[in-house]
Structure 1
Amino acid sequence: MEGSLVGKWYENAVFYHMYPIGMTGAPRRNEGGETVHRFQDLMKWLPHIKELGCTAIYIGPLFESTSHGYDTKDYRMVDRRLGDNRDFKGFVEKAHEMNIRIVVDGVFNHTGREFFAFQDIQKNREQSQYCGWYKGINFGWNSPYNDGFGYEAWRNCFELVNLNLREPKVREYLLDVIGFWIHEFDIDGIRLDCADCLEFSFMEEMRRFTNEKKADFWLMGEVIHGDYSRYVKPEMLNSVTNYELHKGLYSGHNDHNYFEIAHTIRREFDENGGIYKGLRLYSFVDNHDVDRIASKLNVPEHIFTVYTLLFTLPGIPSIYYGSEWGIQGRKEGGNDDPLRPAVDIEEALLHPDNPQLLKWVTLLGRIHSQEPALADGRYQELLLTNRQYAFARILGEEGIVVAVNNDDRPAELCIREPLSGKSWASLIDGREPELQDGSLRVTLAPGESQIYKLK
């Protein structure tokens, strides 16, 4: 990849999140049978992803599985509903030609019931050499599937059998799988499913292993609750999912309470005492497990300021496929399918649900790529009310000021100037705010965002 092996590519990345089984319209059940080559459909998304300013793709799950992708059958085989290994290799090569990195799902906390080790236990019971591969195997119990033995399942979903990551042979097997995906496909990173369930020592071993394979390999963990700094450290993971900020981004708008968002950022990243200061957490407004942002907001127009904050607050921003033009989707009980619809990318771009949002997200992606302060700059809060919020990202002598208004009426703001300069200008429309007594005086329309740069 041209110019991509210098420095840590992931620190200033913008991610695009693809859930391939859903977006290609693949069957929700894998009944075996013939391989269907759907990567040509996924390939059509790459120019759009590049146009958005995204520099990396998180795609998955990809392992051969029984249903939703997280009930793995074969770790060395691309799911036949999507294509074969050669198809995926071509997808990665094309993405790399476009200077886009590829990160895949690593589903290492559990397997499906059709995985070879579990099937061997079903067949050979106490004599199986794989009894130690899973947690809680007990031949005095029974499972809901009437296996004649019990086992530990992820959140009592018994189609997902928890692996025993304290078993050396399981670790050896999974590290060999990771090496296979790096060697065979040249992937650039792994998003660890259920990282908050994994053994810390296993993640540390994974870090050492991947460092030897690829110096800039990115490890990101799905962590919902708890102390993110327990995971993000040089000897373990590069990043985790920032669910705390995700919650604030939508509820802070729905409640007209920018204090929630600002408090989260102050707690996490403030230059004086932020508990995650210096860490690069993975930011998102929706994904394949939570309702679409367009369906969560009480005021649809707030989606513009939500995305402004996603791209300008500290963190590695990501876009979930289709949300850049406002796709709707809510869970239906335990059914996640509404969050993972099939999309014809060519038709969607001809007739996007919200063309103005698509333009806005594209503009934000361009600004993020052109302004290093948005990735590397320190955070400084400048103004805060329930309905208005302004902050700076400062990198050396470079400064960016972001201001947002979630009110239904115009707001006149007096924003403390974080750096003294001749003038500031909007990266959105070129307008220059009035400077008076060390403050930027601006008027924001209802739902308006502005991003100013020191000239």
Structure 2
Amino acid sequence: MATWYEQAVFYHIYPLGLCGTSKQNTGIKEVHFDKLEEWIPHIKKLGCTAIYIGPLFESVGHGYETTDYKKVDCRLGTNEDFRKYVQKCHKAGLHVVVDGVFNHTGREFFAFKDLREHRERSAYVNWYCNVNFNGNTEYNDGFSYENWGGYNLLAKLNQRNPEVKEYLYDVVRFWVTEFDIDGIRLDAADVLDFDFMKGLRKVADEVKEDFWLLGEVIHGDYSRWANQEMLHSVTNYELHKGLYSGHNDHNYFEIAHSVKRLLDICRDTRLYTFVDNHDVARIYSKLNNKEHLYPVTILLYTLYGIPSIYYGSEFSIEGVKEQNSDDNLRPCIDLRTYAQLFENNGIMEWNYKEFPHKDILELIIKLGQLKQDYLELTDGVYKELLLTNRQFAFARCLDNSCMIIAVNNDDNVSNMTIPMPFDGRKAVCLLNPENQAIIKGNQLELTIPGNRGEIVYITK
């Protein structure tokens, strides 16, 4: 039986952006969880079953320079506001995963402030990596230290220090006890200490049944992080790259190669699959042919993994980095631009207005429903069936049934003849029921319009 996270479809929220909070935390309290709560019916309507929201820790600016690990950023609301938000998410059947920024702290974190004040006499000298009192920084601290990404704003914690380990483990226990969260997404997991993550896995197993650990990892052998001893999953940046460049270059071989390579390396581990997030350009901006968003979205949901939608991309919004700023990737969005809120038998719901590319929103809703209705899309064994530069078909097989997924990145109609993965006798098109999928012997004949795709349910 798959766990909740193995079956999940995630909705990813960067709350400081979505809510349009102040860019810098001046201590002035803001209230935004009422707005976040309004998005819950929308997230449910998309067919999502979990929310990844973060960063949430009290911080100075963009959220990853933590000031207080046990306080919700006052630009969003209070701890009590978030506690009620999680309760409402759970009532709606949504699991909640938050950011864990455990690789580094901000300069206003209590341990770093003590280090600046007391220098060699500080009890927290060994809380940070490579503190050198013969060095200096642009802040004129009179000492230097290891950071993340070259930014001295982000001072790297020494995760091999037992005190630091226990402090951070206690933070996880706190967020489970106080807010009842269901998992942690580890920021910058690719540079976290492996022993620290092994200890964290033990904590996760203790604090809550099926508590999920997701790691942000970009390059490398993902199985080094996602395994029985450490994390449950990592971010699938390799497939993320293939999904847009494989369409831009009309090269489905790239996508198919990544899928086979990752299945060989990671085996049964379901990686966290996405087409955009708070650190990279929006998928609609990355695609040379905007019509390719349709087959890209189908692949996001049907390839082996845990799919995630980044807030706003269901509306095909654009966003690219400008002058090294991520602000365009993390916009404030008013859901009322795209939908109208109404009450239906005491339950608040959204009706969607007409807007460009509404077909993608409707596709996401349909795929979310199919993911819930058909276990083949979660547990089905992957099998490549047909592969050219511009056409790609594969199966997700489970017992005596399977899904055949076919996509076409060409502008023209493709008449595809696809080898059958087993002796099926009935074929039903699930995305467009008026389409015809014909079984002839051991082959499936299927017509796919240009820049489109289909999911065919095959049974004996």
Same fold (TM over 0.5): yes
1:26 aligns with 2:26: no
1:335 aligns with 2:338: no
Q: What TM-score, normalized by structure 2, do the two folds share?
A: 0.95
CA-based RMSD of the aligned residues comes to 1.0
CA distance in 2, matches of 1:143, 1:429: 60
CA distance in 2, matches of 1:211, 1:333: 42
Partner residue, 2:343 = none
Partner residue, 1:403 = 406
Runs of 4+ residues over 4 Å off in structure 1: none
Partner residue, 1:91 = 85
Paired residues in the alignment total: 445
Identity %: 53
Q: 1:446 aligns with which of 430, 447, 450?
A: 450
Listed as ranges, the matches of 1:113-124 within 5 Å are: 113-124=107-118
Partner residue, 2:362 = 359
Partner residue, 1:307 = 297
1:201 aligns with 2:195: yes
Contact 2:425–2:439 (CA under 8 A) maintained in structure 1: no
1:278 aligns with 2:268: yes
CA distance in 2, matches of 1:369, 1:159: 43
Q: 2:4 aligns with which of 2, 9, 13?
A: 9
Partner residue, 2:135 = 141
Partner residue, 2:422 = 419
Partner residue, 1:107 = 101
1:385 aligns with 2:375: no
Tell me the secondary structure at the aligned position of residue 224 of structure 1: coil
CA distance in 1, matches of 2:61, 2:43: 27
**Cα offset, 1:353, TM superposition:** 4.3
Equivalent residue letter for 1:322:
G
1:58 aligns with 2:66: no
Contact 1:327–1:353 (CA under 8 A) maintained in structure 2: no
Q: What TM-score, normalized by structure 1, do the two folds share?
A: 0.96
Map Cα deviations across residues 206-265 of structure 1 (whole Å, 9 max, x no partner).
111121111210000000011101111122110000000000000000000001001111
CA distance in 1, matches of 2:355, 2:75: 27
Tell me the secondary structure at the aligned position of residue 5 of structure 2: helix
Tell me the secondary structure at the aligned position of residue 296 of structure 2: helix
Equivalent residue letter for 2:276:
D
Map Cα deviations across residues 271-307 of structure 1 (whole Å, 9 max, x no partner).
xxx2222111000000000000000000000001000
Tell me the secondary structure at the aligned position of residue 294 of structure 1: helix
**Cα offset, 1:31, TM superposition:** 1.1
Q: 1:293 aligns with which of 259, 283, 287?
A: 283
Which runs of no fewer than 5 residues in structure 1 stay unpaired? 1-5
CA distance in 2, matches of 1:368, 1:259: 25
CA distance in 2, matches of 1:109, 1:285: 25
Partner residue, 1:174 = 168
Single out whichever of 150-159 and 249-258 deviates more from structure 2: 150-159
CA distance in 2, matches of 1:382, 1:318: 25
Contact 2:221–2:265 (CA under 8 A) maintained in structure 1: no
Partner residue, 2:145 = 151
Which runs of no fewer than 5 residues in structure 2 stay unpaired? 340-352
Contact 1:423–1:432 (CA under 8 A) maintained in structure 2: no
Tell me the secondary structure at the aligned position of residue 210 of structure 2: coil
CA distance in 2, matches of 1:306, 1:97: 32
